[in-house]
Amino acid sequence: MAGFDANEHLTPFRDARGYGAILFDRTQLRQPDPAWFDPAHWGDAAQPVGDGGRGGAWFIDMGEGGDAVLRHFLRGGLVANLSRDAHLWRGIARVRSFAEYRLLRVLRARKLPVPMAYAAWYRREGLSYRAAILMQRLPGVRSLAELASAGEASMAAAGELVARFHRQGLDHADLNAHNLLFDDQGRGWMIDFDRSRLRIPATGWREANLARLQRSLHKRAGARPRATVEADFAELRAAYDAAWQRGY
């Protein structure tokens, strides 16, 4: 995990349930409160995000602080039956929210279109911890999944967007059609970088990313014929290959 930059600040805290810390950007926040990472703190100003994922995300109206997204780090698979949000403590260097926060900052420094990270939080409780991240809400965007279902997606733009990130070595751990967002002007963003990492660009992991994206397009196809989804992905893949060849 990358080291601190000049604007990072780490604030430890202790509450009735355990102890932890908040890592935040001093240019964006003066002093975040641990309560901010509990959606109940915001009341009606917190609205669940319904598009994609397993839940655990809310749109937050922070008043003068603007609009944000709060996302808790959840577990999938069979272990989720034991606990949806408790992770094995392996030291502060392995805290998932801190890793994503820092990765977002690196990606923004490389001029890639990602949300701004405001703050990352964890609270340790014995041998486990819980984590969350607070970040910029992107206004007026729709996911590739939603756009494709409505027949309004630019698959070429999606392919070029993925190639742009791959050129920078971003191996997305869950590249699916909900994690590519576009506004009405066709500008695209990538989101949700939990467990993602920067690597040397190589065929293996790039192909794995694209295969995952292809599966997600089929999964969210609804009533659209399989042949239509395949044609959409072929367009995306052609644009990706062209962008890769020209170095984006």
Q: Give the domains, in start order, of the chain with CATH numbers.
A: 8-136 (3.30.200), 142-245 (1.10.510.10)
- The answer to whether 100 touches 94, Cβ cutoff 8 Å, is no
How much is the pLDDT for 54?
59
If one counts every other C-beta atom within 10 angstroms of the C-beta of residue 135, the result is 22
pLDDT grade for 240, boundaries at 50, 70 and 90: very high
Residue 2 pLDDT level (bands cut at 50, 70, 90): very low
First to last CA, the chain: 27
- Which whole number is the average pLDDT over 167-195? 97
Q: Which of 133, 132, 129, 134 is nearest to 19 (CA)?
A: 129
Separation between Cα atoms, residue 156 and residue 143, nearest integer Å: 15
Active site members: 174
In SS3 terms, 11-71 reads as EEEEECCEEEEEEEECCCCCCCCHHHHCHHHHHHHEEECCCCCCCCEEEEECHHHCEEEEE
pLDDT digits (tens, 9 = 90+) for 160-171: 999 999 999 999
Band the pLDDT of 1: cuts 50, 70, 90: very low
CB of 220 within 8 A of CB of 153? no
**Overall average pLDDT of the 14-42 stretch:** 92
Tell me the pTM. Answer: 0.92
Three-state secondary-structure class, residue 160:
helix
The candidate with the shortest Cα–Cα distance to 1, out of 11, 149, 10, is 10
